[in-house]
Structure 1
């Protein structure tokens, strides 16, 4: 036998083994990437997108059901088996369902952008300080540092007492958000799932917003303003809208009375006996 073919027959298993090892190595790298947390933000963003797409489907089905119910009640009213109030209620349900569907569609668009951003921000393996959990830790620590600045600075304690008042609603909401973020904070990326990461990410986002609200409340009260009181222009706008609504209601009532009176006169004219 040719020595080449003898060698090939003896070492035929080399190529499949090399291919198999390559495949196993690739899978191992991907799994390692997931374990060390490099892709946590991307995986969580993809999960959020799938959930948002599922919600869109549910809201679109809800719109179809609401429209069908509205059409049924309109037909029932024509047959005098449903009231105008029921039809109006069904119409409001349709509008609410359509608004929910629009909000769900907007959420899907937002989630797609977040997936693109997370994909672009997947850090290299050599930069663990840029891993998603590490970034969240820094954001979490930054909020805590901003809060402690109020707690440790005597001048700020005097100027903004609300920031140390746990009974104030805004501050109580911040402290509750701080507890949630603390409880959800992972010590390391070992064993953390995209769902765990998403929960901690949302907790940190809620914490940042709660602190902003508490800080705004403290500054407004320090300036002698009530943060819960809307600006004067909002009161004026509400008053104008209320008066407009009242005027519309009065006009509609007057029109209904006129139509009823006209119908009564017309009916009485038809029922009256002819003159001899």
Structure 2
């Protein structure tokens, strides 16, 4: 058969094959999203985009604040503004600069989370991110319920169930927010709702740790974090002392070598 006619007759194979590969890849990504395997990764990307937008806005605020300082300084030179107004504008500029630095740090942290979430996309046989978050949430509730149901813990740490205690009241508020966020995430299963639920569970964990710490302090137990801090400080001091000793030894050795080199040869 004429090669030209063959090429004309089968010209559609390559585009269709390429389209099939692309459609297959898109279908895999779409099934991955629908199955929830990429939910944590998509939520991390959602957070990064929001953090980047905030960082851009705060950098713009810094530029405007700097322009305001320059304007008021010029007016101060022309005696149309007071020194207090200039000082106030400079304070606002410093606050805006600190906000911009915090936003930039948040962007870097969110980028780390994106990288970690990309690496942690589960296999088809592993629990989905929402399932893992459910397990984390339920584990926190189970830790709390031990103080509600164990008579020995109730006697030892009564503040854990006393809603008049600020830390306990804050835990209960965080628990309510986590429940609401879970309902929204379960009904929508979208990145924004998952991110809100993830943050609510993290807030719940912090609130529980704070309530438990406060209850143990009121029970007369030595704060564990204090001893850990003291151990870390002692370790840092020890390492610093060792570094100083090593530096002093090295300096002494160098000085001795220099003196030996300056002595005349006795041979």
Tell me the TM-score normalised to structure 2 length: 0.75
User: What is the aligned partner in structure 2 of residue 134 from structure 1?
Assistant: 131
Structure 1 residues 77-156: aligned runs within 5 Å: 77-127=76-126, 129=127, 131-156=128-153
Q: Which of 168, 176, 186 is the matching residue for 1:179?
A: 176
Unaligned stretches of 5+ in structure 2?
223-267
Q: CA deviation at 1:199?
A: 0.9
Answer yes or no: is 1:212 the counterpart of 2:206: no
Counting matched residue pairs gives 222
User: What is the aligned partner in structure 2 of residue 236 from structure 1?
Assistant: none
Q: Which of 138, 159, 164 is the matching residue for 1:162?
A: 159
Q: CA deviation at 1:69?
A: 1.2
Q: Distance in 1 between matches of 2:115 and 2:99?
A: 25
Q: Distance in 2 between matches of 1:121 and 1:224?
A: 39
Root mean square deviation of aligned Cα: 2.4
The Cα offsets for residues 218-259 of structure 1, whole Å up to 9 and x where unpaired, read as 11111289xxxxxxxxxxxxxxxxxxxxxxxxxxxxxxxxxx
Q: CA deviation at 1:190?
A: 7.6
Partner-residue secondary structure (3-state), 1:150: helix
User: What is the aligned partner in structure 1 of residue 251 from structure 2?
Assistant: none
The Cα offsets for residues 153-178 of structure 1, whole Å up to 9 and x where unpaired, read as 11110111111112322111111111
User: What is the aligned partner in structure 2 of residue 270 from structure 1?
Assistant: none
Q: Distance in 2 between matches of 1:207 and 1:71?
A: 45
User: What is the aligned partner in structure 1 of residue 41 from structure 2?
Assistant: 42
User: What is the aligned partner in structure 2 of residue 67 from structure 1?
Assistant: 66
Q: Distance in 2 between matches of 1:188 and 1:88?
A: 47
Contact 1:36–1:190 (8 Å) recurs in 2: no
Partner-residue secondary structure (3-state), 2:169: helix
Q: Distance in 1 between matches of 2:93 and 2:187?
A: 47
Partner-residue secondary structure (3-state), 1:185: helix
Unaligned stretches of 5+ in structure 1?
226-276
Tell me the TM-score normalised to structure 1 length: 0.73
